[in-house]
Amino acid sequence: MIYLWLVPAIALLALSLTAALRRYALSRSIIDIPNARSSHSIPTPRGGGVAIVIAFLISLPVLGYVGLVEWSPLIAVGGAGILVAVIGFMDDHGHIAARWRLLGHFGAGIWALVWMGGFPPIVIFGMSMELRWFGYVLAAIYLVWLLNLYNFMDGIDGIASIEALCVCLGACFLYWLNGTPALIWAPLVLAMAVLGFLYWNFPPARIFMGDAGSGFLGIVLGVLSIQAAWESSALFWSWLILLGVFIVDATFTLLRRLIRGDKVYEAHRSHAYQFASRRFGRHLPVTIAVGAINLFWLLPIALCVTYWGLDGACGLVMAYIPLIIIAVKFHAGALESSVSPSAS
């Protein structure tokens, strides 16, 4: 309890850093100019997610030094996060070819897995599966996909921040009920870093996160979920459930675009949340809806998995079916030209 001062301190640090980054972006004309592929209409500074990166990374050696978290997961999440953030920062300020970004992303994932000891045995529909080396492969793909989908889903004001805040605080609640307080600190300080940034990013946003921030959040959330898997399969399934809004929308959209033969790294506005924001004419209702789905649908199911013994895979299916229906309803992955303005 003596170290609870760290919680508001990280939030205040991120709040102050975001303000400073906003002034810097405005002075250097680092502005996101709206175009045909944008979901916003007002030129807005970008790169504010660096505040989340700095605030969270500063907290890691403190957590390790005072003994609140073991050093191995801190080195795993810190090293992977730094590499992804640097790649994203460079891409925000120039351009890095997709193949080099992907190589760097896999490097970050492998770094994290080596320090985490790979991926543990997982219980699927009541059967424990020892994945061995194949677990490394699947886990690396999972981490790379999660960091990229987080980048894809950071397309309207506040949505990536609200998602990270809900997922992290939901995980903290589950850890507390599960009697694993040592796991609480990393997602808690990440949530506080995001909260400080959210003040500036809440609709209407005064600064955008940028690739450095969104990719960083994706890889950190992925590594934290694997840390949870080493504690219990139920906790890992719960992380997948809590991340359901982003996983379903991004994956459904990607698969539909792949089937159609689109260039998947080409900018587009065909995610369900983007169609929804155009239908409602603003970002706020969609961002609030994401928070509500997390709080009132996904968190209760994750609670059933960790606390009341619901099978994790069954809980995942139960959680995702309505999300898939929503994705279909809002035309996720459809060509924008094929959807009438009233339907989108």
Give pLDDT tens digits for 53-64: 999 999 999 999
Give pLDDT tens digits for 199-216: 999 999 999 999 999 999
How high is the pLDDT of residue 342?
A: 56
Domain presence at residue 236: yes
How high is the pLDDT of residue 341?
A: 54
Domain presence at residue 278: no
Give the least confident one: 33-42, 183-192, 276-285. Answer: 33-42
Is residue 285 predicted with pLDDT exceeding 70?
yes
Whole-angstrom Cα distance, residue 256 to residue 337? Answer: 15
Give pLDDT tens digits for 261-283: 887 777 788 999 999 999 999 99
Give pLDDT tens digits for 288-337: 999 999 999 999 999 999 999 999 999 999 999 999 999 999 999 998 76
CA angle 309, 310, 315 (to 5 degrees): 150
Domain presence at residue 204: yes
Cα distances (Å, whole numbers) of residue 74 to 71, 109, 193, 217: 5, 14, 16, 15
Domain presence at residue 134: yes
Cβ distance 87 to 101 under 8 Å? yes
Domain presence at residue 177: yes
Domain presence at residue 147: yes
Cβ distance 128 to 122 under 8 Å? yes
Whole-angstrom Cα distance, residue 66 to residue 263? Answer: 48
- From the list 180, 292, 290, 166, the residue with the least C-alpha distance to 239 is 166
Domain presence at residue 306: no
Domain presence at residue 337: no
The total number of structural domains that make up the chain = 1
Is residue 138 predicted with pLDDT exceeding 90?
yes
> Where in the sequence is the domain holding 98, given as residue range(s)?
6-244
How high is the pLDDT of residue 1?
A: 56
